[in-house]
Structures are given as structure tokens and as C-alpha cells.
């Protein structure tokens, strides 16, 4: 495979496309809502009308507006229809040739669409994730060719460093610095790992990217491997994502057959193999040292650091670990340059961030917005407020490791530093909206129960602390707690933050501490109170 062959594939793909395309969302959520039946019905209608040659019905990934799905997009008009059913097939086919259509249509001028800045999601909902030819026709794998033939590994690292990209898995560590550390670390072999162990309640960012655009992640991993000197990669993906796993497997096979993965990629001396490792769903395996232990066949438990994986990771070798969204940014940064990326976002937080917007919000779904946008713009403009108009009470960011931010602070900028300043974190991108009917003690208790169940048990502060905090919150919720119990809750939270081995235990108190800080009256109201458990 060389660049001319790549261009030829793209040209053939474009030439073979029908005049019209009907794009049906085939992400896991839309499949559960009947999108595959819609696709089958569309194909039957087209066959009966003798229009198969003029229209391609294409299964695509997530189109973003999940709460209004299943969604269908018509090309070349770009119209998007919502809440589609199989009975709408005839109307949609007729809409290819006429302006009027009785199927509800998305308002593409709504802030949900206009306020987004798709980089990671630029192909999502627009290409068939199971056909490598469509990814190539959209410009795929050209940047991999470019770095292999035109740039040195050091130059690639310099580009990523200058871009200001920070890891999108939650910690926000500078990506270029991590790559540089792996590149200079001595070792017989080096590895690249894509962390797709997305376990936060309400989070589906990585799953959607893998289901919608698996080759984008593979290309980013290959560029990273070239930069750091690795020849083996692993994608660690949780077993609860069967569609993502299936599409990744197909993408890897397709890329190998075309010589885009494997040996002598693009007729060069660069070799890179990618394998999938399926996790059993342990939340703690999102922590990089626990993830490494799981890939090695051991129990997924974290270990003390240093040494960090960049110096001693998988089988004691230098290992680069980034999450799905981080790798999905790489090819765009190479293509457009680091200065282009630096112009997006804030001084310290560059680029965009993908969020799963869920909870008591009208427009639930997947969004990609520039860093620096405010919580208010996301909740009120993009999300369009609560479904029934009830005032929003808080937004929880960062999953079980994050905090609850009250409505009074919704003018907070969404970036790493600003969220940390108000007691939360960016996390991997979960964003749960809560209305005035939400009890914040129940929220804290829910997340503590999650952390209690997901604790690996290796260190005492996390193993015992999560259980005791959950018990104390239950006691409080039952109206059996005293003021001293509230003080014990706060002391335990601080103890866990300071003494737990890994990020799970260190951050598990965050939902409790943030709700205590901003909604302390709800805790105090429950001290010695008679609680109606039917409410």
C-alpha cells in the first residue's frame, strides 16, 4: 500500500456512491430503539420502487441527539429526521425528491448543533464504521502515511506537545510530555495501550467513538506508536460494549489486509500490530496500573507509582497509555497543525471535549464543544433545560470521581482548572443534569455505593472507607444520624483522599464533599428526621 493506492481507493469509493444516501444511526442505543428495522424497511421500499441503484442505505454511528432517536439523515440535502419508525420509510424515500415530509425533522439551527465543534466526532454519523473505504474516502490514514514518510518520531512528538493536547481520560496530563517520556525510556520493547474501559455511570463517549469511527482511533494509535518506538498495541475495552468490540475487530482485520497495520506499513520499516483485550467490567481497571495488570492476566489491582507506566509498564517495558478520545484527536492535529488546535479552548485547556449529556435534560446525547464553554451554555442552550421546565439544581461532572456543581455556579468555564476550583473534575466526559426534585444526599449515596462495589480492596482506606461512608449516608438518609456522624463523614472523606492507593479511593469522596459544601442544608435536614421512604 502506498499513497497512490490510498487515493485510488478513495476515488473508487466516491465514484461508486449512489446519487442519494440515507444514513441510519446504527449505534447501540439506536439499535435498541429499532434502527436496524428502519434500515431494512427502507431497503424494502426502495426495492419495491426500483430505486436501489439511485439510493444507498448506510448504517452509521452516533448522530449525537440520542434522546430524539432513532435519527435518519438524507444526503445530499443534509436533512435529519428524528424519532423515526419503520412506518416512516415511504415518507423518507419520497423526501429524497421533494421538500415536504411529515416525519419530524431536527432543527439543525438549534444550539445543540450550531454550538458544537466536531473534531473527534467529525465522521460520526456520516460514514459506515464497518467499511474502511468510507474512512479512507473521508481522508483516513493519510496522516499516518505523512508521519511515516515525512516526519521523524521526534517531530511528531513536538507537534503533539505544541498543540497543548491533554489526556482526555480524566487527569488531563500533557499528552506530548507523556509521549516524550515513553520515547526516551530504554527498553527492549515498547507498547501502546488505548484505554477504552469507560465505566462511569451515564458515560458513553468512548463507546460511541469506537462504534462510529474505529479507524480514527487505530490511526491515532499507529501515529503514537511510530512516535514512541512501539510495535505492539492493545485496546482494552470493557465487555459490556459488544458492538464496539465487533466493529473494532472488523476495523483491525480490514486495516491489516490493506497493509495499514501489521508489518512494513506503507512500504516502510515501521511495524505495528493491534490486539483487543476485553475487560470484565471492573471500574478500577480504568486506572492505568490496574489495566496493565489485567492485560498481563493478573487481577486488576493498582500498584504504587513511581515507577510510572511510561518507564515501566506492560511486562516491565515502557508503555504509553491514552484513552479513546485522546487518540481520536491525533490525526486532526497532524493534519491542521498544532497552532490550529491551540486556538481552540482556553489558555491551559486546549481543543474540544466530548461529553455524554444525560439526566434531567431535554436534549440528551453526545456533544463535542470547545474548552471554555460554560456549564450554563451546555445545560440551557445545547441541552435546552429540563424536559418539564423544572429548574436545574446541579450538574455532576467527572462521574464517581467528580463533584456536583450547583446552578449558582453555572457560569463556570468548562476546563480542567475551573472545574477543579469549584470542587469537581473534567473526568472522561460524563455530565449528569439534576433538577430541583433531586435529593443530593441520595446522589452522594448512589456514587458511594458504586465506589464501594467497585473498590478492588487492595488498600484499607478505600476498602473500608467506602463501606463506612455508604453506611453513614444510609444512616443519615434513614433519619438516624447525629451531628457527630456528619463530622465523621467529613473526616473519613479527607482520610480517604489523603491515604488511598489509587485514583478510585482518592476521588471517591468528591461527590460527598461537593454536595456537603454546596447543599449542606439537605444533610442537616436529615439529622434526626423522620424519613418517608415512599417519596
The per-residue pLDDT for range 468-517, each reduced to its tens digit, is 999 999 999 998 989 999 999 999 999 999 999 999 999 999 999 999 99
pLDDT for residue 98: 83
CA atoms within 13 A of residue 418's CA, in its CB half-sphere = 18
CA–CA separation, 389 and 76 (whole Å): 36
* 132-159: average pLDDT: 98
Q: How many CB atoms lie within 10 A of CB 313?
A: 26
pLDDT for residue 33: 86
CA–CA separation, 444 and 436 (whole Å): 16
Mean pLDDT, the chain, rounded, equals 94
Does residue 42 surpass a pLDDT of 90?
yes
Q: How many CB atoms lie within 10 A of CB 18?
A: 16
* Cell numbers given for 272: 505495528
Mention every residue, 6+ apart, whose C-beta is less than 8 A from residue 420: none
* 64-82: average pLDDT: 94
DSSP summary character for residue 317: S
pLDDT for residue 535: 44
* 334-356: average pLDDT: 97
* 116-134: average pLDDT: 97
pTM: 0.95
Q: What is the pLDDT of residues 222-252, one digit of tens each?
A: 999 999 999 999 999 999 999 999 999 999 9
* 46-62: average pLDDT: 94
Q: What is the pLDDT of residues 364-406, one digit of tens each?
A: 999 999 999 999 999 999 999 999 999 999 999 998 889 999 9
* 147-151: average pLDDT: 98
Q: How far is CA 17 from the centre of its chain?
A: 30
Phi first, then psi: give them for residue 471, nearest 5 degrees: -65, -40
Does residue 29 surpass a pLDDT of 90?
no
Where does the pLDDT of residue 200 fall: very low under 50, low under 70, confident under 90, or very high at 90 and above? confident
Phi first, then psi: give them for residue 122, nearest 5 degrees: -65, -25
pLDDT for residue 533: 53
Residue 375 in contact with residue 426, Cβ under 8 Å? no
pLDDT for residue 63: 95
CA geometry: angle 315, 321, 323, nearest 5 deg: 145
Q: How far is CA 126 from the centre of its chain?
A: 18
pLDDT for residue 531: 52
What's the start-to-end Cα distance of the chain, in Å? Answer: 64
Does residue 529 surpass a pLDDT of 80?
no
Phi first, then psi: give them for residue 7, nearest 5 degrees: -65, -35
CA R_g for the chain: 24
pLDDT for residue 199: 84
CA–CA separation, 131 and 212 (whole Å): 11
pLDDT for residue 31: 87
Phi first, then psi: give them for residue 58, nearest 5 degrees: -115, 125
* 145-172: average pLDDT: 96
- Give the residues across from 21 on adjacent strands: 56, 75
Amino acid at each position: 500500500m502506498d499513497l497512490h493506492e490510498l487515493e485510488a481507493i478513495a476515488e473508487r469509493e466516491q465514484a461508486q456512491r449512489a446519487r442519494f444516501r440515507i444514513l441510519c444511526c446504527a449505534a447501540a442505543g439506536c439499535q435498541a430503539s429499532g434502527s436496524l428495522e428502519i434500515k431494512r424497511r427502507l431497503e424494502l421500499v426502495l426495492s419495491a420502487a426500483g430505486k436501489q441503484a439511485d439510493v444507498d442505505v448506510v448504517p452509521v454511528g452516533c448522530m449525537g441527539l440520542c434522546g430524539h432517536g432513532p435519527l435518519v439523515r438524507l444526503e445530499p440535502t443534509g436533512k435529519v429526521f428524528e424519532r423515526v419508525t419503520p412506518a416512516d420509510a415511504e415518507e423518507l424515500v419520497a423526501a429524497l425528491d421533494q421538500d415536504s415530509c411529515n416525519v419530524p425533522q431536527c432543527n439543525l439551527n438549534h444550539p445543540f448543533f450550531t454550538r458544537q465543534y466536531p473534531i473527534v466526532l467529525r465522521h460520526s454519523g456520516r460514514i459506515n464504521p464497518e467499511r474502511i473505504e468510507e474512512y479512507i474516502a473521508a481522508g483516513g490514514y493519510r496522516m499516518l502515511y505523512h508521519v511515516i514518510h515525512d516526519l521523524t518520531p521526534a517531530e511528531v512528538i513536538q507537534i503533539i506537545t505544541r498543540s497543548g493536547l491533554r489526556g482526555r481520560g480524566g487527569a488531563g496530563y500533557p499528552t506530548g510530555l507523556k509521549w516524550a517520556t515513553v520515547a526516551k525510556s530504554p527498553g527492549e520493547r515498547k507498547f501502546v495501550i488505548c484505554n477504552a474501559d469507560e465505566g462511569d455511570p451515564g458515560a458513553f463517549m468512548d463507546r460511541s467513538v469506537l462504534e462510529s469511527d474505529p479507524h480514527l482511533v487505530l490511526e491515532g494509535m499507529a501515529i503514537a506508536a511510530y512516535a514512541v518506538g512501539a510495535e505492539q498495541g492493545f485496546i482494552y475495552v470493557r465487555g459490556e460494549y459488544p458492538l464496539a468490540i465487533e466493529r473494532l475487530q472488523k476495523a483491525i482485520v480490514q486495516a491489516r489486509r490493506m497493509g495499514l497495520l501489521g508489518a512494513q506499513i506503507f512500504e516502510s520499516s515501521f511495524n505495528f500490530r493491534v490486539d483487543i483485550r476485553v475487560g470484565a467490567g471492573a471500574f478500577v481497571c480504568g486506572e492505568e496500573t490496574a489495566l496493565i495488570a489485567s492485560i498481563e492476566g493478573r487481577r486488576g489491582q493498582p500498584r504504587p507509582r513511581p515507577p510510572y507506566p511510561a518507564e515501566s509498564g506492560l511486562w516491565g517495558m515502557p508503555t504509553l497509555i491514552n484513552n479513546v478520545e485522546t487518540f481520536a484527536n491525533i490525526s486532526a492535529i497532524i493534519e491542521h497543525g498544532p497552532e490550529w488546535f491551540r486556538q481552540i479552548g482556553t489558555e491551559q485547556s486546549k481543543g474540544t471535549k466530548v461529553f455524554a449529556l444525560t439526566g434531567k435534560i431535554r436534549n440528551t446525547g453526545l456533544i463535542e464543544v470547545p474548552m471554555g464553554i460554560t456549564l450554563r451554555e451546555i445545560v440551557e442552550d445545547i441541552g435546552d433545560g429540563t424536559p418539564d421546565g423544572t429548574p436545574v439544581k446541579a450538574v455532576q461532572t467527572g462521574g464517581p470521581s467528580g463533584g456536583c456543581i450547583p446552578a449558582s455556579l453555572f457560569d463556570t468555564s468548562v476546563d480542567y482548572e475551573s472545574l477543579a476550583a469549584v470542587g469537581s473534575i473534567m473526568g472522561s466526559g460524563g455530565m449528569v443534569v439534576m433538577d430541583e426534585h433531586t435529593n443530593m444526599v441520595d446522589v452522594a449515596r448512589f456514587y458511594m455505593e458504586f465506589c464501594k462495589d467497585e473498590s478492588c480492596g487492595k488498600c484499607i482506606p478505600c476498602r473500608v472507607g467506602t463501606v463506612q461512608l455508604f453506611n453513614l449516608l444510609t444512616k443519615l438518609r434513614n433519619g438516624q444520624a447525629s451531628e457527630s456522624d456528619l463530622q465523621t463523614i467529613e473526616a473519613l472523606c479527607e482520610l480517604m483522599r489523603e491515604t488511598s492507593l489509587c485514583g478510585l479511593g482518592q476521588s471517591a469522596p468528591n461527590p460527598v464533599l461537593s454536595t456537603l459544601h454546596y447543599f449542606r442544608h439537605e444533610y442537616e435536614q436529615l439529622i434526626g428526621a423522620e424519613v418517608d421512604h415512599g417519596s
